[in-house]
Amino acid sequence: MTTETAATRVKSIDPRSLPRRFDVKEREAHWRTRWDALGISKHDKSAPRAASFVIDSPPPTASGSLHPGHVFSYTHQDVIARYRRMTGWNVVYPMGWDDNGLPTERRVQNYFGVRAEPNVPYEPDLNVRKRRKELGLDRDEQLVVSRGNFIELCHEVTAEDEKTYKELFNRLGFSIDWEEEYATIDDRCRSIAQRSFLDLDERGHVYTAELPTMWDVDFQTAVAQAEVEDRPTPGAYHDIEFGVYEAMQGEDGVPASFTISTTRPELVPACVGVTAHPDDERFKPLFGKHAVTPGFFAKVPIFPSEKADPEKGTGILMLCTFGDDADVEWWRTHDLELRPMVSRSGQASPRTFVGYNSEGAGWGSLDPRRAQFFYDQLLGLRLDEVREKIVELLSCPGTSAMTMLGVDVETEPPLKSEPRSIEHVVRYYEKGSTPIEYIPSRQWFVRLMDKKPLLQEVGAKVQWLPDFMEKRYANWTDGIAHDWAISRQRFFGVPIPVWYPIDADGEVQYDDYIVASNDMLPVDPMLAPAPGYEESQRGEPNGFLGEQDVFDTWFTSSLTPQILARWGENGDRMANLYPADLRPQAHDIIRTWAFYTIVKSALHDGDIPWHKAMISGFIVDPDRKKMSKSKGVVVTPIPLVNKHGADAVRYWASNGRPGMDMAFDETIFTIGSKLVTKLYNAGKFVLMQDAEHGDIVNELDRAFVNDLRDTVRRATDAFERYEFALALQITESFFWDAFTDNYIELVKRRARSEDDAQGRASAVATLRLGLNTLLRLFAPFVPTITDEVWSWTYAEETGYESIHQAPWPKMSADADIPEQYQLAPIDTPDSDASFQTACRAIAAVRKAKHEAKIGLGKPLARLQISGTDDQLDSLRLVESDVADAGGAAKIGYQSAATEDGYVAAVEGIE
C-alpha cells in the first residue's frame, strides 16, 4: 500500500472537532466493521512455513457456558496474534467449535426432552415439540427418537451455541481468520479423525477388546482416565462375616469364619476372592484356603497380597467383579472368576446359580437354590437399591455362610454390626452423578502404556510457557495407568470407521474387523455397507455388522493442528502450516487436550504438534476457588463487555501472566477504561499541537526519545518471551508517568511558543513521534482506541489505514514507516539523563508548590532549585522547559553539599 492511495481513502481530521467523550460502544462497532473490510485477520495462503506464525487455537466446547475464563485466555491469544502481525509474521489464527460429544447431547436431552435409542427408525421432518404434545408427555418424560433425528437436533443446538461464542469473540475484537472456521463434527474434521484412526490402525497402535472398562451407568458409555474425577462421597462400612470352606469340611486349625469390612455390600454376589497382607498373622492360616460368601455360598480363594493394607477395615477384604481398579488388577493377576452382576444401566442383571459340579453356564454356589432365591430379590434393582436389599438380607441368619456347617449350628446374621458411616473418595465421570463402575464391554483403545518414553521425549521438545508446566505434562504422562479408551456409546460424534464380518453361524468376528478405505471418508458404518458387501447383508449370516460407537471427542480435538493443515485432504497444507507455532490453552486440560494432541502427533509422525505451548491460568473467585466450580454468582462475559467496553475487558485479561491464576477483580476493568480515556485525551492534545514539526534537536526531546527507545526495546523483549502482561506494564508506565504526566507537561508551552520556532518544531515532532510509537505498543492490547487515535492523522501520514496493519516500532531504520515516526538511534553523548533530570526537578517544584499551598497552575515570582553542582549542571540543559512547566520565568540555582536530589524553594505571586 502506498501513501498516495491511502491518502485518497483516509482523511485526517481536526482533533479539536472531536467530542469531549469517547463513545466506546459506537466506535467499537465501527472498528469491527472496518477491520473486516480491511481484512486485517486474513493470512497469506501462499506464504512459506518460515514466514508464518500458526496458532493452534482452542475450539471451545460450543455447548459449554461462557465465563470470564474464556475472555481471559482468548484475549492472550489475540494479543500475541496482533503483536506477531505487526512484527511482520503471516499470522494464521483459526477458530473451531468442539461441538460433538456429551455436553451437546445432554443439552439436547434437556432442551427438547428427548432420548435417542439406536434401533428406532429415522423419521424425516420430525417436529419434537408437536410430537410431545400429541403424546401428552409430561415435562420430565422423554420422547424416544432415532439416532438420526437426535443428531439433527444436536446440529440445531450447536449452531445456536456457536453464534453466542462468535458474538463474544467479535465483540472483543479478536482477530480470528473466520475463513479458517471449522467444527469438530463437520465433514472435514470427521474425515481427519477417521483418517487418524486408519493411520493408527495401520501402524498397529489401536485394538479392540472386551475388557473391564470404566463405565458411567447414567450416560451408559465408557469413559477415559482423563475424564474421571474423585469426589468425596458419603458411604458406610459394613462388617460382613464370611465362612471358611475348609473349616466346614472339618479341617483342624482353620478358623470357621472371618469378617471383612466393605463399603460395597451390594457386590457380595459378585465376590470372586478374598485377600489380606501376607505378613498379617491374623489371616496367615487362611491363605490357600477358600471363603464361602454369605447369602450366595460361593467358594472363592483366599490369597495373600502385598497391596492389602492391614490397617484398613478389618485387614481382610473381598474382591468382586468389579469394585474398583484394584479388583480388576487382582482379577487379571490371580486368574479369578468373572462374575459381572452390574448391567450397563447400573442394575443387577439376571444371573443363574449352579452347583460346583454342574455343567453349563452359571455362577458356582454350594447351595444354588438358596443363592438363586436371594439373588432374585435383587434383580432389576439399581445398585443403591441392591445395597439396601442386601443389607436387609444379610441381617437374616439364613444368609449366613455358617449355615453351610450344618443345620444344628446356631447361626447369627452375617452382617455383624450397624453400618458405620464414613466419607470416602469415589470415582465419578466428570460429567456424571453416579459413581463409575468397571464393566466388561467391547471397546476400542489406543495403546499408550508402551509409549511413555516416546511421549516424554516429544513433550520435552515442546517449549512450555511458563516452563514449569512441562512438569505437569510429564507427571500426567508418567502416571498413565490405562491405554486410551477411544470408543463411546454415544450418538453425536465421529463414527468409528469399522465393520465386523458375521460368519455363517451368525457369530460376529470382532477380531477380523474391516476398516474403511481412505476414499470413503467420512463414513458412517451404520449407514454405509462394509467394503465388499451389499447393504442387504447387514446383520445377516455371512454379512457384516457396522460399528455403532463413536470416538471420544478428544480423539478429534487432539487433531486441531492437522485439521488446520488439512492433513491428507485435497489441498493438504501440512508443509505450510505444520507443526503449528503456538498452542495456547488453560492448564486444566494439559492432561487431556495437550496430552492427546502430543499422543497423536507422536504416533502419526513421531514429532511435536507445535513448538510452544502457552498455558494460561484460571480466573478464580476472590476466595481463590476456581470460578466455574464456585457456587457464587456466575459472571457472564457479554454484560462485562457492555459495561466496560472491549478494550477495558481486554486490558483486564492482558494483566494475567501465562500460567498464573488471577482473582476476578472488577476494579481492573475501571483502570482499563481510564487508560482508554487517557489515550483518547492525550491523542487529542498531541495532535492539536499542529505547528509545523521539524528535527528533534532540543536536549529534552532527544533524551525523551532515548527513554522511549528503551521502552520499545523492553516491551519488545517481553513480547518475544510471551510476557505480554509485562510488555503492557512497561508501556503503560512509560505512557502514564513519562509521557502524559511529565513530558507533555514539560513541553506544552514550548509547543505553542511564538519565539522559539526550532524548539517548537522539535517539541511537536517529539510529541507526535511519542504518541505514534506508544499507540503502536498499545495496539495489541487495546485495539479500538489505538486505531481510533491512529485514524485522526497517522493513517493518512503513514499510509496504514489501520494501526493493525502498521509495523511494530523498530529500533533501527525502518523503511516501512515515514521518517518522522522512526526511532532511529539518537546521538546524545552527555544528556542521556536530561529527561529524568527534568522529571526530578519538576517533581521538586510541584512538591514545593504543594507545601507552600500554591496551586500547581499558578505562576511563581521566584523559583530556586538546589542540588549538587553536577545535578545543577545537568538541570541547566533543560532549564527553560522546567521553568515553563513550573510557572516561573527562570530558575535560581543553589549549590548544596548533600545528594538529596533536587529541592525547590518557591514564592508565589501576590
Partner RNA sequence: GGGCGGUUAGCUCAGCUGGUUAGAGCGCAUGCUUCACACGCAUGAGGUCGGAGGUUCGAGUCCUCCAUCGCCCACCA
- Residues 709-748 touching RNA, rule: CB under 7 A, are 726, 729, 733, 736, 740-742, 744-745, 748
> What is the phi/psi pair of residue 183, to 5°?
-130, 140
CB of 258 to RNA, least distance (A): 12
Residue closer to RNA, measured from CB, 209 or 660 = 660
One of 259, 456, 548, 677 touching RNA (CB under 7 A): 677
CB of 446 to RNA, least distance (A): 18
CB of 704 to RNA, least distance (A): 14
Residue closer to RNA, measured from CB, 109 or 456 = 456
Amino acid symbol at 793: T
List the x/- string, 314-343, binding to RNA by CB under 7 A. Answer: ---xx----xxxx-----------------
Residue closer to RNA, measured from CB, 147 or 587 = 587
One of 179, 309, 457, 695 touching RNA (CB under 7 A): 309
Residue closer to RNA, measured from CB, 435 or 495 = 435
Question: Is 313 among the residues that bind RNA (CB under 7 A)?
Answer: yes
Contacts of 348 (CB under 8 A, 6+ apart): 266, 269, 341, 342, 375, 378, 379, 380, 381, 383, 386
One of 95, 154, 614, 620 touching RNA (CB under 7 A): 620
| Residue-wise DSSP of 382-406 | BHHHHHHHHHHHHTSGGG-GGGGG-
Residue closer to RNA, measured from CB, 69 or 546 = 69
Among residue numbers 10 through 69, which ones bind RNA (CB under 7 A)? 20-21
Among residue numbers 211 through 230, which ones bind RNA (CB under 7 A)? 225-226, 229-230
CA-wise closest residue to 74 among 577, 562, 646, 716 = 646
Q: How far, CA to CA in Å, does 114 sit from each of 105, 137, 751, 788, 891? A: 10, 11, 73, 50, 84
List the x/- string, 537-576, binding to RNA by CB under 7 A. Answer: ----------------------------------------
Among residue numbers 766 through 795, which ones bind RNA (CB under 7 A)? none
CB of 60 to RNA, least distance (A): 18
How many chain residues are in contact with RNA, going by CB under 7 A? 84
Question: Is 625 among the residues that bind RNA (CB under 7 A)?
Answer: yes
Q: How far, CA to CA in Å, does 294 sit from each of 275, 331, 684? A: 16, 20, 88
Q: What are residue 441's DSSP bridge partners?
A: 211
Q: Identify the residue whose cell numbers are 546524545.
A: 828
Amino acid symbol at 706: N
CB of 11 to RNA, least distance (A): 22
Residue closer to RNA, measured from CB, 454 or 726 = 726
By CB under 7 A, which span of 310-318, 387-395, 524-532, 787-795 interacts with RNA?
310-318
One of 504, 624, 692, 754 touching RNA (CB under 7 A): 624
Among residue numbers 376 through 405, which ones bind RNA (CB under 7 A)? none
Residue closer to RNA, measured from CB, 286 or 318 = 318
HSE-CB of 190 using CA atoms within 13 angstroms: 20
CB of 401 to RNA, least distance (A): 16
One of 312, 369, 643, 890 touching RNA (CB under 7 A): 312
C-alpha cell at 816: 516501512
Residue closer to RNA, measured from CB, 478 or 830 = 478
Among residue numbers 572 through 611, which ones bind RNA (CB under 7 A)? 587-588, 591
Question: Is 843 among the residues that bind RNA (CB under 7 A)?
Answer: yes
Could you give the angle at which helices 24-38 and 147-171 cross, rounded to 10 degrees? 110
Q: How far apart are CA 497 and CA 15, in angstroms?
A: 64
Residue closer to RNA, measured from CB, 166 or 684 = 684
HSE-CB of 550 using CA atoms within 13 angstroms: 23
CB of 661 to RNA, least distance (A): 6
Among residue numbers 471 through 510, which ones bind RNA (CB under 7 A)? 471-472, 475-476, 479, 481
CB of 658 to RNA, least distance (A): 10
Residue closer to RNA, measured from CB, 151 or 774 = 774
Question: Is 862 among the residues that bind RNA (CB under 7 A)?
Answer: no
Q: How far apart are CA 625 and CA 628, in angstroms?
A: 9
| Whether the Cβ atoms of residue 734 and residue 711 lie closer than 8 Å to each other | yes
In 3-state terms the chain splits into helix, strand, coil percentages (rounded to 5) of: 45, 20, 40
Bond prior to 829 in cis (omega within 30° of 0): no
Q: How far apart are CA 640 and CA 764, in angstroms?
A: 38
List the x/- string, 169-208, binding to RNA by CB under 7 A. Answer: ----------------------------------------
- Residue 126's H or E segment, with its range, is none
Q: How far, CA to CA in Å, does 797 sit from each of 35, 684, 817, 823? A: 19, 16, 9, 16
One of 149, 158, 673, 874 touching RNA (CB under 7 A): 673
List the x/- string, 799-838, binding to RNA by CB under 7 A. Answer: ----------------------------------------
- Residue 114's H or E segment, with its range, is strand 114-117
Residue closer to RNA, measured from CB, 61 or 562 = 61
C-alpha cell at 558: 487432539
3-state secondary structure of 302: strand
Residue closer to RNA, measured from CB, 624 or 631 = 624
CA-wise closest residue to 185 among 151, 222, 224 = 151
Residue closer to RNA, measured from CB, 263 or 716 = 263
Residue closer to RNA, measured from CB, 660 or 826 = 660
Q: How far apart are CA 191 and CA 523, in angstroms?
A: 8
Q: How far apart are CA 460 and CA 859, in angstroms?
A: 65
CB of 847 to RNA, least distance (A): 4
CB of 664 to RNA, least distance (A): 9
CB of 588 to RNA, least distance (A): 6
Amino acid symbol at 345: S
CB of 676 to RNA, least distance (A): 7
One of 37, 856, 861, 909 touching RNA (CB under 7 A): 856
> What is the phi/psi pair of residue 608, to 5°?
-75, 150
Question: Is 905 among the residues that bind RNA (CB under 7 A)?
Answer: no
Q: How far apart are CA 338 and CA 363, in angstroms?
A: 9
Could you give the angle at which helices 452-461 and 595-605 cross, rounded to 10 degrees? 100
Q: Could you tell me if residue 538 is left (phi over 0), alpha (psi between -120 and 50 degrees) or otherwise beta?
A: beta
Among residue numbers 425 through 444, which ones bind RNA (CB under 7 A)? 425-427
Residue closer to RNA, measured from CB, 294 or 543 = 294
CB of 570 to RNA, least distance (A): 40
One of 175, 221, 262, 698 touching RNA (CB under 7 A): 262
Amino acid symbol at 533: Y
Residue closer to RNA, measured from CB, 396 or 660 = 660
Q: How far apart are CA 232 and CA 237, in angstroms?
A: 15
CB of 430 to RNA, least distance (A): 9
3-state secondary structure of 343: coil
C-alpha cell at 251: 479341617
| Residue-wise DSSP of 545-576 | EE---EE-HHHHHTTHHHHHTTTTSTT--HHH
Q: How far apart are CA 658 and CA 725, in angstroms?
A: 8
List the x/- string, 650-669, binding to RNA by CB under 7 A. Answer: -----x-x--xxxx-x-xx-
3-state secondary structure of 434: coil
- Residue 146's H or E segment, with its range, is strand 143-146
CB of 590 to RNA, least distance (A): 8
One of 67, 678, 709, 810 touching RNA (CB under 7 A): 678
